[in-house]
């Protein structure tokens, strides 16, 4: 019996001990790993992942969807973090080669974001630290105040050609909600027409930077001079990275910024 107990303890230790070599195939997961204190341990990531200042650059192993299996194998990772966009056949190949792969879903709400963060933290033995970050973020969100009966109607643009907006089941819709906004585009798949926005006539239009395209979109929207958002000069540009791929820690920062835009 003692031998069985010891075996279980050893296996548990191996499963949840902090890995020394990690590969991440998704930008949001990579951010979480760095937030949880893994720096040199992240030996490989996707071409869309960005390392914090002062952190050694990881080897790029491909895109979010397609990865270079040979490159990943040569990095000898103890664990590979895949996403829902990762190629299932490549995940299977890695597993067949004896490499541990954990698939991390893209959260659809702040609640799911916290759950996913804890999932990642548990896999790298950082659960306690993750819980502290979550607790602090929850406290920051509670500080953000607004009148529930005075929510501001907002159109939040995150893409162009076609125009793409924030859908109901998304953590970005939670950003709008926590900030005191009311998303006018909660129905549908996210693709929206300019005509429909004009028809709904929101009080605010918020646009992500979109690699510089956001500024051009502001000029286009200003042509619709009869819209409330245009008349009141309520068209704003926000950072794409902060709003489209926040971590648990930066989520309150995005909410605060939007709250300021809506109620300044």
Residues 6 or more apart whose Cβ sits within 8 Å of residue 104: 26, 29, 81, 82, 83, 116, 119, 120
Q: Where in the chain is the domain with CATH 3.40.50.1980?
A: 14-134, 146-263
d(CA 250, CA 261): 17
Q: Check whether 4 has a pLDDT greater than 70.
A: no
For residues 142-177, one letter each, b for 16 or more C-beta atoms within 10 angstroms of the residue's C-beta and e for the rest, the string is eebeeeeeebbbbbbbbbeeebbbbbeebbbbbbbe
Range 214-232 average pLDDT: 97
- Classified by CATH at the fold level, domain 14-134 comes out as Rossmann fold (3.40.50)
Checking DSSP bridges between strand 79-83 and strand 101-104, what pairing results, if any? parallel
Range 195-214 average pLDDT: 96
d(CA 31, CA 59): 15
> What is the reported pLDDT for 16?
54
Q: What are phi and psi of 29, to 5 degrees?
A: -65, -40
Question: Cis omega before residue 162 (within 30°)?
Answer: yes
Q: Check whether 8 has a pLDDT greater than 70.
A: no
Angle between the N-to-C axes of helices 110-123 and 127-142, in degrees from 0 to 180, rounded to the nearest 10: 160
What CA–CA distances, in Å, run from 14 to 6, 80, 243?
12, 15, 36
| Closest of 140, 117, 139, 141 to residue 130, by C-alpha | 117
**How confident is the prediction for the chain on average, in pLDDT?**
93
d(CA 182, CA 180): 7
Instruction: Give the number of C-alpha atoms closer than 13 A to the C-alpha of residue 46, restricted to the C-beta side.
Output: 21
Better-scored residue on pLDDT, 264 or 12? 264
**Beta bridge mates, 153:** 182
Confidence of residue 1 (pLDDT cuts 50, 70, 90): low
Task: Show the beta-strand stretches assigned E in 47-177.
Answer: 59-60, 79-83, 101-104, 152-159, 164-165
Superfamily of domain 146-263: Nitrogenase molybdenum iron protein domain (3.40.50.1980)
> Which tens digit of pLDDT belongs to each residue from 54-82?
898 999 999 999 999 999 999 999 999 99
Better-scored residue on pLDDT, 102 or 2? 102
What whole-number percentage of the chain has pLDDT above 70? 94
């Amino acid at each position: 019996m003692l031998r069985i107990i010891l075996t279980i303890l050893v296996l548990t230790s191996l499963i949840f001990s902090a890995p020394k070599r990690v590969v991440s195939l998704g930008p949001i997961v990579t951010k979480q790993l760095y937030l949880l204190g893994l720096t040199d341990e992240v030996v490989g990531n996707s071409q869309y992942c960005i390392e914090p200042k002062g952190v050694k650059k990881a080897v790029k192993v491909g895109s979010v969807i397609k990865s270079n299996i040979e490159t990943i194998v040569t990095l000898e990772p103890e664990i590979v973090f895949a996403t829902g966009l990762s190629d299932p056949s490549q995940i299977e190949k890695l597993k067949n080669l004896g490499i541990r792969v954990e698939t991390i879903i893209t959260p659809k709400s702040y609640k799911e974001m916290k759950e996913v963060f804890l999932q990642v933290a548990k896999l790298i033995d950082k659960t306690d630290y993750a819980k502290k970050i979550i607790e602090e973020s929850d406290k920051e969100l509670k500080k953000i105040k607004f009148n529930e009966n005075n929510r501001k109607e907002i159109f939040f643009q995150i893409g162009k050609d076609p125009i793409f907006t924030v859908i109901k089941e998304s953590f970005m819709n939670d950003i709008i909600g926590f900030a005191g906004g009311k998303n006018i585009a909660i129905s549908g798949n996210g693709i929206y027409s300019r005509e429909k926005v004009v028809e709904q006539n929101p009080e605010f239009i918020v646009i992500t930077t979109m690699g510089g395209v956001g500024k051009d979109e502001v000029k286009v929207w200003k042509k619709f001079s009869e819209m409330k958002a245009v008349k009141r000069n309520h068209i704003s540009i926000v950072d794409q990275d902060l709003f489209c791929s926040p971590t648990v820690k930066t989520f309150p920062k995005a909410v605060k910024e939007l709250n300021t835009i809506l109620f300044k």
